[in-house]
Amino acid sequence: MKISENTAVSMPMRNLISIIGAVAVGCWFGFGVIERLNVIETEIQLMQSDLEKNTEFRIKWPRGELGSLPADSEQFMLIEYIGTQIEAIEEDLKAILMIQNGSVIEYVPTQGMTDCLKQKRVITRNIGKNQEGMVMQCKEVKAELYEDMGRLKIKKIYD
């Protein structure tokens, strides 16, 4: 049998259409499989990239190597502000010390030595000069203050 360009093939038309259809379906199936594989590979690459970024974030965020949130910055500023207020409240001041039997039982901050002596006179007049070993003394002390209903009170006296 000789085959050339001019060789005729006799085949029913429906067989030819069936072969062309089968080839078309085969091509469509092949390209679909290849497309699906490409989509899956892309998803795997994206997940791998996200996993690496997550690992980096998980390690570096607690160390502070990635910066901080605006809320964290605001909290740090508030902490610094409160720290300066506490430092301002720890100060040298004049205070009236109420001493009974050698131990301080009460202390009240005053505006200065003049105010301290004035308050001491008023208190001494009201309770008497010596009432069971109670003595009033004006003294400059270093103290930690706190605010109670708008008034500064002494929390602790430092020696």
Percent of the chain with pLDDT over 90: 26
| Extents of the domains making up the chain | 12-67, 91-158
pLDDT on residue 159: 67
Q: Which token pair is 72?
A: 């964290």
CA dist., res. 107 & res. 13, Å (int): 116
> Which pTM does this prediction carry?
0.39
Q: Which token pair is 157?
A: 């006296």
CA dihedral sign of residues 106, 112, 117, 119: negative
Interval 25-64: pLDDT, tens? 999 999 999 999 999 999 999 999 999 999 998 888 877 7
DSSP state of 6: T
Confidence of residue 20 (pLDDT cuts 50, 70, 90): very high
CA distances for 158 relative to 84, 98, 104, 141, 149, angstroms: 19, 16, 13, 7, 24
pLDDT on residue 86: 67
Confidence of residue 21 (pLDDT cuts 50, 70, 90): very high
CA dist., res. 154 & res. 50, Å (int): 57
pLDDT on residue 1: 67
pLDDT on residue 135: 80
Residues 6+ apart with CB under 8 A from 132: 100
Of 25-34, 82-91, 120-129, 133-142, minimum mean pLDDT range:
82-91
Residues 145 and 109 sit within 8 Å (Cβ to Cβ): yes
- When computed from its CA atoms, the radius of gyration of the chain, rounded to whole angstroms, is 46
